[in-house]
Structure 1
Amino acid sequence: MSTALSLAVLTPDTIDAALALRVRPDQEHLVAPVATSLAEAYVHGEAAWPRLILDGDRPVGFVMAFFDLRFHPDRPGDRPRSGLWRLLIDAGHQRGGYGRFAVEQVCAEIRRRGGTRATVTYHPGPDGPVGFYTRLGFRPTGELSGTQVVAEVEL
């Protein structure tokens, strides 16, 4: 991993590189492809924050955050949530610190927008990313989102 890590807005010049990112075949059931994420970002508008993870000018992954910092008076007890919606590190670039960098940048953006917690959902099985998120401070809330574990970290 170089010291020139950054997150970049996707552009017409970078879309093909983003769409070419792939996890290992044994991880495909854990994360949706970039194309699915971009379709979700399109329909969710400003709530979605898709970014390409770059090492210098080389795409190494994709991250998408979601932001909901508004108070919902019609839902007492419901807390606004922001967090990590999708994280995909290309198979050839895994275990290089890129995922940690991306999660840290998402958390920094949540803080910049006034948030105090970050939320993530993940596949709960032994092949899932529970260890990764635990090392970053995320703790299960006891909730499920479909079949996925919901975890949070205080910022």
Structure 2
Amino acid sequence: MAELRLEELSASNISAANALTLKPGQEQFITPVSYSAAAAVNDPNMTWQRVVVDGDHEVVGFIMGSFDPDADDEFRSILWRINVDAEVQGRGIGQFAVDALADEARGRGQDRLYVIWETGELGPEAFFLRTGFTPIGETQYGETIGALDL
């Protein structure tokens, strides 16, 4: 891996972000990046979308969070989506992206970052636990709510 860096999601890199591959079974837990981009149009000031670039140009991941100081606790500072290309999973790219989102949350005066995940075989739970999130409850639909103290 070369040096990782972040770029804002843009017209020049959204195709590469949409082309990120998944390991078999992960597709049921991931929404396409283009859906995330469309959701951000409603309030671009609160939505934080970045691609992770390896070296000079290769997009290897995507992360989306949002910040809303007027929302309920778990929606004030939340990680909505994270995708890391199947070929490079397990190499620290997801941790790099989560750390960057946590830094952004701290910079916006937040003291916790939240995430909501669906449990299941091949799901993201082990990843979120490894990156420091702790389960703190469940949604009304049975999804896990996790928090990362900043």
| Both structures adopt the same fold (TM-score exceeding 0.5) | yes
TM-score normalised by the chain length of structure 1: 0.86
Q: CA, structure 1 residues 29+107, in 2 after alignment: closer, same or farther (shift >3 Å)? A: same
Amino acid corresponding to residue 83 of structure 1 in structure 2: I
Query: Following TM superposition, by how much is the alpha carbon of 1:45 offset from its aligned partner in structure 2, in angstroms?
Result: 2.6
Verify the 8 A CA contact 1:83 1:107 in the aligned structure 2: no
Alignment partner of 1:65 is 2:65: yes
Q: How does 1:1-155 map to 2 (within 5 A)?
A: 1-2=1-2, 4-56=3-55, 57-70=57-70, 78-79=72-73, 81-144=76-139, 146-155=141-150
Residue-by-residue CA offset, 1:110-146 (whole Å, 9 max, x unaligned): 0011100000011112321212111222111112163
58-67 vs 14-23, greater mean Cα deviation: 14-23
The two structures, once aligned, show a CA RMSD in angstroms of: 1.7
Gaps in structure 2 of 5+ consecutive residues? none
Amino acid corresponding to residue 28 of structure 1 in structure 2: E
Instruction: Give the Cα–Cα distance (whole angstroms) in 2 for the partners of residues 50 and 107 of structure 1.
Output: 13
Secondary structure of the 2:132 match is coil
User: Paired residues, what number?
Assistant: 148
Secondary structure of the 1:46 match is coil
Secondary structure of the 1:142 match is strand
TM-score normalised by the chain length of structure 2: 0.89
**Higher alpha-carbon Rg:** 1
Verify the 8 A CA contact 1:140 1:151 in the aligned structure 2: yes
Gaps in structure 1 of 5+ consecutive residues? 73-77
Instruction: Give the Cα–Cα distance (whole angstroms) in 2 for the partners of residues 147 and 88 of structure 1.
Output: 22
